[in-house]
Structure 1
Amino acid sequence: MGNRLSKIYTRTGDDGSTGLGDGSRVPKDSLRVAAYGTVDELNSTIGMVLACDGVPEDIAEALTQTQHELFDLGGELCIPGMAMIDDQDITRLEQVLDRFNDPLPPLKDFILPGGGMAASCCHLARTVCRRAEREVVALGREESIRPQASRYLNRLSDLLFVLCRVLARASGHGEVLWQHERRRKPSASSHD
């Protein structure tokens, strides 16, 4: 690839528009820009997970591969009609998810975001992933997009949830469980 970013500012977006990968211009608040912008945000939050101390090597490898795929997905969303994410990428996520989920004990309670810095960053990535998925679904109602985009994000959010559990356990902090019993109904005598 040649020198593509010789000038960082162009002033072309000062009017509230931005260029898509096919050369067309759209408003910066369009559904398409929101979708690929949130995919970029998701990629950045995964970078935060990878920057944390103590991330196991197998998780780092899986997340680094995911960052490359998210860059591809952003490109697909930025260039109408482009196909960069395929069923093989979704299958890879499912295989990684199964590998990390199988040794975990069954989940009996809801988990709160926490469990150490890496797990907390992974929870943030999970929630950004869910937002990216919602934005891709919204875009798909207005414009033609491939179903692989939302399927990939759906599977990735599941994987990130599992990785939150693994990272919390690996950190020694453990999973932070929601304590639903903490909200007890007041007894009749407490209203005196």
Structure 2
Amino acid sequence: MEELARYLKNYYHLSAAAYDALSACFEEKIFAKNDYLLKEGKICRHLYFLKQGALRGYYNADGKAITHWFGFEDNFVTSFYSFITEKPAVENLQFIEGSIVYAISKERLNGLFNQYHEIERLVRIVYEQYYIRLEERYVNAQFKTAAELYHNLLEQSPHIIGRVPLGYISSYLGITQETLSRIRKPR
């Protein structure tokens, strides 16, 4: 739970009582590579903190898996749409490495919101950060070239190349693997 405490302090400082109550509600879960955290059509009832490992979020469209995000250590991950709306997920969350997560149910989290308003404020900030990243990704996809997208990805997440298959990266960037290979060739 030390990773979680360190991460939370980056967003909002919780009182010791609020942190203790929050950490008591998380349970550790271990997943193997290729396991699913969530499959489309299921309702996501937990918010997860990724302690170790990596996963991807992807949609199925016309028989193709389209990767739209990656999660790595020290991030909250979930199907935010499904978690917030309590509707079936339209995405799949699949581990691309063996991983360890801390999970908290929406029910328990809502109970903490009522008891500790500072936890509610913290989670609101986490949601805001998620939506900021989502909008940045959308804007970048609209106005940047494939090469610019790839170089931005390397700048923001240099570890991604060694950890994520190139097919997932090309899907994430919205380009073919051949285009990604051309971009990656030294000049």
**Structure 2 length-normalised TM:** 0.27
More helix by share: 1
Say which one has the larger Rg.
1
**Structure 1 length-normalised TM:** 0.27
